[in-house]
Chains A and B, each alone.
Chain A
């Protein structure tokens, strides 16, 4: 199917099903129950799942296949966002040309950064990419944010190319030569796909449940599925195999007549373009781009996502991205009042002690929880969540065969 073998084909179908039904699957708890805060089926979060999924899928093409650990991929994310914003400002609010520019711009950036960084391997490669990303961050934060159209003018470049600390925003005076500068009611127009606004959504009320179907989510989801499909094709291609052989034994590859350099650069640029696409989508969902998107912590996050999910596996990065974004958004929302309500059944003194013990791990402390989970996964499941899933599946299978064994032997007794 689609040029995939049976196993990859069913994986793709499974992911399609999960993505299509995500608004239901992620909203299992009724609105009025105390568990409703664990629901993740709202557009903003679901968009983040798939967008960071794209980011991590692309990162995995570089890190998972070649073993080269880039610590500066957030630079491409930021470049993608800025590129999309400029498309919105100059030409119009259609998301497709904006995404195209994001991918092209980040690709060009990746060629430059990759060409230099790939002269080294191992830790030196990581440091070089980190340095480039932090340089991009400073450029976006200050150098490119200076008034570029003269002190007496209030033009487009009033706050430079990037808008500095406050970020790049849309204004009513943006030219938007192929679209309207303002909407009929005098507002700034919003990103749309041929008129379908990304923020538009319909709600479905079923009993105590509310399911939201957002245009922005489904648009991002389709892009993510295409990105996922492309990554499966790359993994199964001769190119993907050469990338794995680079990770395995670069010397042997050299003496086998292949030049590792252009293969590495191609992998780097492809993964940079994935990051740019993710950045462009972020701007399409929420038209704003700030330099913090390029900060080194953002680069570190995608490393965590990939490792948490399973480096070098097809689905791992998506799972990792989902897990981290879920924790970031759900655990960080739990506060001490909620904890108290959960443990209200305990005697007063005990309740206070339990709440005080859990408190550091919730709210702003969600990083602590993430850190612990990350350590546990790396120590006990070096293959990430995917390995965990495989172990679980193997256990279930063993149990099933045990059951059938006892079932068949029982009558004999």
Chain B
């Protein structure tokens, strides 16, 4: 039994079958990559995991509990954090403030009325946030207005916001898209380190094969809403079906 069990999930948008009978099992404390051509349904699948979309049929179990019918914040409180394909951060807040919100969410749950205490007095949470910013090499930007940062920095910030929550399952939707090569390599190193030092399961969607093969222990190939194959990276590399899915139209 994996920590995440997706069974027979179907999702239609009008006439389009975005997901068709998706079965996926992600083992605890592994990095599982989901790859596939554009429009394969990868983001749609993640949306079904975090409560953004509700599958038409099928079940999604996390840690032995169903996530279906729960709100996004409840699912997050169960231990799933997600980085979006287009960065979702609090643009009007500073980098440090962006980091503190997930810290509050982790400590206080989905609602707590701390209306009198000062944010500056939250020494413990500030330390955690600064530590995490240091890990993603952004400590020098902590007082920056986050909307004014580059796309790559926004992604790194969003990833830091998810990681500081110490989630059981981290969902990454193309975390290195729009990043410079050096930042991509830093991200790979960071994720490797996180994986070694924490009990964390990572599901990653990625087009950059360098990232995929550096990190993934298991790979699922999705095409037209259905999993084609699931195997180890070595076996995926030379798999004829994978080549067909990716190069089919070009060949």
- Which residues of A pack against B, CB within 8 Å? 3-5, 233-234, 236-242, 244-245, 247-249, 251-259, 262-263, 266, 270
The answer to whether A248 touches B91, judged by C-beta atoms less than 8 angstroms apart, is: yes
B45-75 at interface with A (beta carbon < 8 Å): 50, 71-73
Q: A3-B116, A255-B72 are in contact. List 8 more A-B contacts (CB 8 A).
A: A237-B114, A239-B115, A241-B104, A248-B93, A256-B73, A256-B81, A258-B104, A266-B113
The answer to whether B104 touches A238, judged by C-beta atoms less than 8 angstroms apart, is: yes
CB-defined A-B contacts under 8 Å, sample of 25:
A4-B118, A5-B118, A233-B115, A233-B116, A234-B116, A236-B120, A237-B114, A238-B122, A239-B114, A242-B101, A245-B93, A245-B101, A247-B92, A249-B88, A249-B91, A252-B88, A253-B101, A254-B76, A255-B76, A255-B81, A255-B88, A256-B161, A257-B77, A257-B109, A258-B105
The answer to whether A244 touches B73, judged by C-beta atoms less than 8 angstroms apart, is: no
* A-B CB proximity, top 10 nearest: A257-B76, A257-B105, A248-B92, A248-B90, A239-B115, A259-B110, A238-B114, A254-B72, A252-B88, A262-B111
- Per a CB cutoff under 8 Å, which of B88, B91, B119 touches A241? B119
Q: Within the assembled complex, what's the spacing in Å between the Cα atoms of A148 and B192?
A: 75
Q: Within the assembled complex, what's the spacing in Å between the Cα atoms of A247 and B90?
A: 9
Q: Within the assembled complex, what's the spacing in Å between the Cα atoms of A245 and B100?
A: 11
The answer to whether B71 touches A3, judged by C-beta atoms less than 8 angstroms apart, is: no
Given contacts A3-B118, A233-B115, contact A252 B110 (CB under 8 A): no
- The yes or no answer to B207 lying at the interface (CB within 8 A) is no
B73-96 at interface with A (beta carbon < 8 Å): 73, 76-77, 81-82, 84, 88-93
Across the interface, which residues of A come within 8 angstroms of B88, CB to CB? 249, 251-252, 255
Residues 104-131 of chain B, each 1 if its beta carbon lies under 8 Å from chain A, else 0: 1110111111111111101000000000
The answer to whether A236 touches B76, judged by C-beta atoms less than 8 angstroms apart, is: no
The answer to whether A237 touches B165, judged by C-beta atoms less than 8 angstroms apart, is: no
Across the interface, which residues of B come within 8 angstroms of A236, CB to CB? 118-120
Across the interface, which residues of B come within 8 angstroms of A240, CB to CB? 115, 119
Across the interface, which residues of A come within 8 angstroms of B101, CB to CB? 241-242, 245, 253, 256, 258
Across the interface, which residues of B come within 8 angstroms of A259, CB to CB? 71, 73, 110-111
Across the interface, which residues of A come within 8 angstroms of B81, CB to CB? 255-256
Across the interface, which residues of A come within 8 angstroms of B110, CB to CB? 257-259
The answer to whether B90 touches A249, judged by C-beta atoms less than 8 angstroms apart, is: yes
- The yes or no answer to B102 lying at the interface (CB within 8 A) is yes
Across the interface, which residues of A come within 8 angstroms of B84, CB to CB? 255
Across the interface, which residues of A come within 8 angstroms of B114, CB to CB? 237-239
B33 to chain A, nearest CB (A): 21
Across the interface, which residues of B come within 8 angstroms of A248, CB to CB? 90-93
Across the interface, which residues of B come within 8 angstroms of A266, CB to CB? 113, 115
Across the interface, which residues of B come within 8 angstroms of A252, CB to CB? 88-90
- The yes or no answer to B97 lying at the interface (CB within 8 A) is yes
Across the interface, which residues of B come within 8 angstroms of A238, CB to CB? 100, 104, 108, 112, 114, 117, 119, 122
Question: In the complex, which residue of chain A has the Cβ closest to the Cβ of B106?
Answer: A257
B32 to chain A, nearest CB (A): 20
Across the interface, which residues of A come within 8 angstroms of B117, CB to CB? 237-238
Across the interface, which residues of A come within 8 angstroms of B73, CB to CB? 253-259
The answer to whether B93 touches A257, judged by C-beta atoms less than 8 angstroms apart, is: no
Across the interface, which residues of B come within 8 angstroms of A249, CB to CB? 88-91
The answer to whether B97 touches A241, judged by C-beta atoms less than 8 angstroms apart, is: yes
Question: In the complex, which residue of chain A has the Cβ closest to the Cβ of B108?
Answer: A238
Across the interface, which residues of A come within 8 angstroms of B106, CB to CB? 257
Q: Within the assembled complex, what's the spacing in Å between the Cα atoms of A236 and B116?
A: 8
The answer to whether B102 touches A237, judged by C-beta atoms less than 8 angstroms apart, is: no
Q: Which of B81, B82, B114 has the most CB of A within 10 A?
A: B114
Question: In the complex, which residue of chain A has the Cβ closest to the Cβ of B77?
Answer: A257
Q: Within the assembled complex, what's the spacing in Å between the Cα atoms of A393 and B159?
A: 40
- Per a CB cutoff under 8 Å, which of A4, A253, A255 touches B82? A255
Q: Within the assembled complex, what's the spacing in Å between the Cα atoms of A236 and B119?
A: 6
Question: In the complex, which residue of chain B has the Cβ closest to the Cβ of A255?
Answer: B72
- Per a CB cutoff under 8 Å, which of B100, B102, B116, B118 touches A257? B102
Q: Within the assembled complex, what's the spacing in Å between the Cα atoms of A258 and B111?
A: 6
Across the interface, which residues of A come within 8 angstroms of B102, CB to CB? 256-257
B60 to chain A, nearest CB (A): 16
Q: Within the assembled complex, what's the spacing in Å between the Cα atoms of A262 and B115?
A: 13
Q: Within the assembled complex, what's the spacing in Å between the Cα atoms of A4 and B72?
A: 35
Across the interface, which residues of A come within 8 angstroms of B104, CB to CB? 238, 241-242, 258
Across the interface, which residues of B come within 8 angstroms of A255, CB to CB? 50, 72-73, 76, 81-82, 84, 88
Q: Within the assembled complex, what's the spacing in Å between the Cα atoms of A234 and B117?
A: 8
